[in-house]
A and B are shown apart, each in its own frame.
Chain A
Amino acid sequence: MRRLYNFPGGVRPKEHKRESTAAPVARAQLPDKIILPLHQHIGVPAKPVVNAGDRVLKGQLVAEAGNNISAPIHASTSGTVLAIEDHAIPHASGLPAPCIIIHTDGKDEAIIGYGKPRDAGILTPEQLRHAIKQAGIVGLGGAGFPTYLKLANEGKKVGTLILNGVECEPYITCDQMLMRDHPIDIIMGLMIMQRALGINRAIVAIENNKPKELELMQEAIYEVGTPDIELVQVPTVYPAGGEKQLIQILTGKEVPSQGLPMDIGIVCHNVGTAYAITRAIEHNEPLISRYITVAGSVAKAQVLHVLVGTPVSHLIEQCGGNRKTLSRVIMGGPMMGFALLDDEVPVVKTTNCILVNSVVSDVPLPSRGDFALPCIRCGACAEACPAGLLPQQLYWYAHAKDFDKVQDYNLFDCIECGCCDFVCPSQIPLVQYYRYAKSAIWQQEKEKVVADISRQRHEFHKFRQEREKHERELRHKQKRQVVEGQSTQDDKKSAIQAAMERVRKKHEHSEVSPKNIDNLTEQQQKLIEEVEARRKKKLEEIKPENNQ
């Protein structure tokens, strides 16, 4: 038995996982429209490779990776590309963004080779990573970081792979149902990850409120896994499934501030990602669908197998929710999810849960009172904070817009898990204050960069002016020295006289002879004089004629 460590703080909200795990997973009905945002992952948006009017098939590439930190996107079903235009997307900002909109034809016709088994055993780690990249797989736990990047192990830095099946947020059950339905595929995906990383050690972590799935996963490990794969039950505390907290529970180590798990030789992947990898590598299926929990004020809470790009409204209706009485729809869990501005947005690769709240019953998400009492410094937030921060102090300084002090109290180590907010007896929207402070600081920094550049430009301009002035002065000084050297011990007057003399001489010379005929030999002089004489003569000859 592995020794487990504690992480500080955490909360135990009501789980609400039974409602959506009673029924088996159903397939979501095919919607009329599939909306594929080009930016569903961390990194740069994908670039479309189809045009409006094109017919596309299920599994066909419709947008390629923008660069190395990006992910391609594939059509989730067959149909016709209606448009590539801005559409509402699931993002906290509520701003529309470019999407490929496909009118589905109901045939669900796949491209050639889709779903064809392939022998993954012959692929090298490099080829595995390439195939995972091509399949558009990103972290399905929520972050959406391109997975192939987290499967590279340069310099053998990574020694431990953690597969995260904790799923600690209330209501969310998609990973649980995936482990129930496809434990073998998940373990096979884990082993592909191990091969890509070139490591043997792996830990599968599952919260101890899922005994059934624990057992199924253990059996799967016996069946297809290796003895190096260890299954660990972790206590049911939110946020035990947070990457940093899970690493702490399993190893007692902490990811350095502003660092990555890779810095301490660990890499974490979600069970959903492992499953997607098996589908991609063994069956040649790109990532076009996933499990999503639909819960809250719906007649039938359940987990659906959903095509990426399906509108949220479509799923709510399938689960017996009334679109007319919606008050709030949360994408993600109640602790860290975000409220949708519009239920026409599509689900994306990273969507794990749709939490519905209706005006009829405000049950799942009781509205927060409009009025928050002042902070009474009870410290409940500090006790709940898994990052060891002092949320009451962060709040104090964020409230006062003291952005230096708020950084002194390590604002940027806040993972926005919401524990402090959850326990606050004054009902202060703490996380909102931290988000505000963070974005204000980012904004300031951005402005500072711009200001720095223009300041540098201005300073260089000033420097150049100074330098030119200096050089000019130096030149003048040198000239003066030269002049002074010629007229030694002479006073100013004689210097002026000399200068006047020079000017006069210059003038004299320049009248008769151009500059290039200074210092001539006697012979040359003679020659010139002859030439001049001839020219004079000729000129005199011509003149009268001209005058006529």
Chain B
Amino acid sequence: MLLKTSTSPHVHGDTTVRKMMVRVLLALLPAMVAYCWYFGWGLLINITIAVATALGCEYLMLKLRQRPVNPFLSDGSVVVTAVLLAFCLPPLAPWWLIILGTGFAVVIAKHLYGGLGYNPFNPAMAGYVVLLISFPKEMTVWLPPFILSELNFSLIDTLNAVFIGVYPAGFTLDALTAATPLDLVKTQLSIDVTIAETKNAYAIFGDFGGLGWEWIGNWVFLGGVWLIYKKVISWHIPVAVLASLFTIALVFYLKDADHYASPMFHVFSGAAMLGAFFIATDPVSAATTPMGRIVYGIGIGILTYVIRVWGGYPDGIGFAVLLMNLAAPTIDYYTQPRVYGHKRS
């Protein structure tokens, strides 16, 4: 009697790609809630549009590439891409901006490079950077915290703003928006206003970073720690990103506190926390050896600081991640761990 054969191992653990992706989304949930608390409904609308676009594009591309739809569509990776991209967009971003960015991320950055597992660049960041370069005006309309709730800006008002660009009577987009703390510090420094003076003059700063932003950062941090605990990500990249960003900021801060923001400000502002735990850790495009991940993370931390302080953009996480994506294969090659029984060098 002939039996079915299989090759060892015959048992498997229960981790799946989908489980990992679901956990990433769960870990983002507290930060999402905090985001909505400070900045209104915009994020949820961003996420909804982005996820719908991403699923549609994924389906289309799988069909075009003649790949099985079900396993890929249900692996959750495209949802994570969409949510992360939505997280990086301004809360009142127009709908077409979101669709454009998500479409670029899924169709070009992911599928044209071979789909899941083959994309050299982080798709969410590729989409984000394309939008940032192409639509600088739309991409920089940020809100100060609580403004929408103070002004009773309802969900319907938000939907109107996003989809048809119409604001309730008495509101204009310009009246609502304000520079982010990172942006403000940068523009003020360029006109010789010291950081301390800027912080006193504007009410958008919190204890470390921006008001509201730093609390979102805290929740991102907690979510990230949970991901490390659940072994969805390893500690190497987040620790390396934050430690290197902190260290380089500390060096310049100690040298000249008037012109260089504090390390805590850098770590808790912009997308640093999100980038460290959720974006730089995208396994497909990151370095994969333990040592390589540390090098990769340090690269992102330093590049982020360089772009923030001396570059043309207020935040640099997106560019830093993409640049280090380029370097990942080389980093992996030179950071292979020592194999059992081989000489210690």
Q: Is B15 an interface residue (CB 8 A)?
A: yes
A390 engages B116 (CB within 8 Å)? no
Of A334, A374, A378, A435, most buried by chain B (CB within 10 Å of CB) is A378
* Cα of A294 to Cα of B339 in the assembled complex, Å: 36
B-contact bits for A54-97, CB 8 A (1 contact / 0 none) = 00000000000000000000000000000000000000101000
Q: Is the CB of B71 within 8 A of A383?
A: no
| Mask: chain B, 15-49; 1 = CB below 8 Å from A; 0 = not | 11101100000000000000000000000000000
CB-CB nearest in chain B for A248:
B340
Asked if B288 and A382 sit within 8 Å, CB to CB, the answer is yes
Residues of B within 8 A of A422 (CB): 9, 11-13
Asked if B5 and A410 make an inter-chain contact with CB atoms under 8 angstroms apart, the answer reads no
Is there a chain A Cβ closer than 8 Å to B137's Cβ? Answer: no
> Which residues of B sit under 8 angstroms from A432, Cβ to Cβ?
7
Closest to A324 in B: B1
Q: Are B336's CB and A435's CB within 8 A?
A: no
Q: Complex formed: what's the CA distance from A34 to B290 in Å?
A: 53
The answer to whether A429 and B7 touch across the interface, beta carbons within 8 angstroms, is yes
Whether the Cβ atoms of A257 and B341 lie closer than 8 Å is yes
Beta-carbon nearest neighbor of B341 in chain A: A257
Q: SS class of chain A's interface: helix, strand, loop or mixed?
A: loop
Residue of A340, A373, A429 touching B72 (CB-CB under 8 A): A373
Q: Is the CB of B340 within 8 A of A244?
A: yes
Given known A423-B13, A425-B15, contact A388–B117 (CB-CB < 8 A): no
- Distance in angstroms from B277 CB to nearest chain A CB is 15
Residue with the highest number of chain A CB atoms closer than 10 Å, among B9, B338, B341, B342: B9
Could you say which of B11, B72, B77, B286 contacts A334, with CB atoms under 8 Å apart?
Answer: B11
A375 vs B10: C-alpha distance when bound (angstroms): 19
Which residue of A343, A344, A373, A388 is within 8 Å of B340 (Cβ)?
Answer: A388
Task: State the Cβ distance, B247 to closest chain A Cβ, in Å.
Answer: 25
- Distance, CA A342 to CA B1, complexed state (A): 6
* Min CB gap B66→A, angstroms: 14
B341 touching A244, Cβ below 8 Å:
yes
Chain A residue with minimal CB distance to B293? A379
Bound-state CA distance A464–B3 (Å) is 57
Bound complex: CA of A410 vs CA of B75, how far in Å?
31
Q: How large is the interface on A (under 10, 10 to 19, 20 to 34, 35 or more residues)?
A: 35 or more
B231 & A427 in contact (Cβ 8 Å cutoff): no
In the complex, the answer to whether B8 meets A338 with C-beta atoms within 8 Å is: yes
Given known A328-B6, A379-B288, contact A374–B116 (CB-CB < 8 A): yes
Kindly report which residue of chain B lies nearest to residue A381, judged by CB atoms. Answer: B288
Using an 8 Å CB-CB cutoff, how does the interface string of A401-445 with B read, 1 for contact, 0 for none? 000000001100100101001111111010110010000000000
Once the chains are docked, how many angstroms separate the CA of A255 from the CA of B341? 5
Residues of B with C-beta under 8 A to A341: 2-3, 5
A389 to B341 CA separation, bound complex (whole angstroms): 11
8 A Cβ contacts from B39-87 to A: 68, 71-72, 75, 77
| A386: interface (CB < 8 Å) | yes
With A257-B340, A334-B11, A379-B283 in contact, do A374 and B117 touch (Cβ < 8 Å)? yes
CA distance A337 to B5 in the complex (A): 11
Q: Which residues of B contact A220 (CB under 8 A)?
A: none
Task: Say if the beta carbon of B234 comes within 8 Å of chain A.
Answer: yes
| Most chain A CB inside 10 Å of its own CB: which residue of B3, B71, B118, B342 | B3
On whether A418 and B231 interact (CB within 8 A), knowing A327-B3, A413-B342, the answer reads no
Task: For B339, list chain A residues within 8 Å (CB).
Answer: 257, 387-389, 410, 413
Chain A residues with Cβ below 8 Å from B77 are 376
Complex Cα spacing A170 to B231, Å: 23
CA distance A258 to B340 in the complex (A): 10
For B214, the chain A residues whose CB sits under 8 A away are none
Stretch in A20-28, A36-44, A363-371, A468-476 with 4+ CB within 8 Å of B: A363-371
The answer to whether A376 touches B283 (Cβ under 8 A) is yes
Q: Does B284 contact A (CB under 8 A)?
A: yes
B337 interface residue, CB < 8 Å from A? yes
Q: Does A330 contact B (CB under 8 A)?
A: yes
Does A393 touch B at the CB level, under 8 Å?
yes
Contact between A380 and B9, CB atoms less than 8 A apart: no
Nearest residue in B to A313 (C-beta to C-beta)? B1
A364: B residues at CB distance < 8 A: 11
Which residues of A have CB within 8 Å of B11?
13, 170, 334-335, 364-366, 422
CB atoms of B340 and A387 under 8 A apart: yes
A383-B115 Cα distance, complex, nearest whole Å: 25
Say if the beta carbon of A11 comes within 8 Å of chain B: yes
Q: Looking at the assembled complex, report how far the CB atom of A508 sits from the nearest CB atom of chain B, in whole angstroms.
A: 84
* Residue interface bits B198-235, CB-to-A below 8 A is 1, else 0: 00000000000000000000000000000000010010
Q: List 5 A-B contacts (CB under 8 A).
A: A92-B7, A254-B341, A257-B342, A367-B6, A418-B9
Q: Which residues of B contact A (CB under 8 A)?
A: 1-13, 15-17, 19-20, 68, 71-72, 75, 77, 115-118, 231, 234, 283-284, 286, 288-290, 293, 332, 336-342
* Contact surface of A with B, Cβ cutoff 8 Å: 7-8, 11, 13, 92, 94, 170, 244, 248, 254-259, 323, 326-330, 332, 334-344, 355, 364-368, 371, 373-380, 382-383, 386-390, 392-393, 409-410, 413, 416, 418, 421-427, 429, 431-432, 435
Counting from the closest, the 6 A-B pairs by CB-CB distance are: A374-B117, A418-B9, A257-B341, A339-B5, A378-B283, A334-B11
A373-B116, A376-B77, A431-B8 given; 8 more Cβ-contact pairs under 8 Å: A257-B339, A329-B3, A332-B8, A336-B9, A374-B116, A376-B17, A377-B283, A422-B11
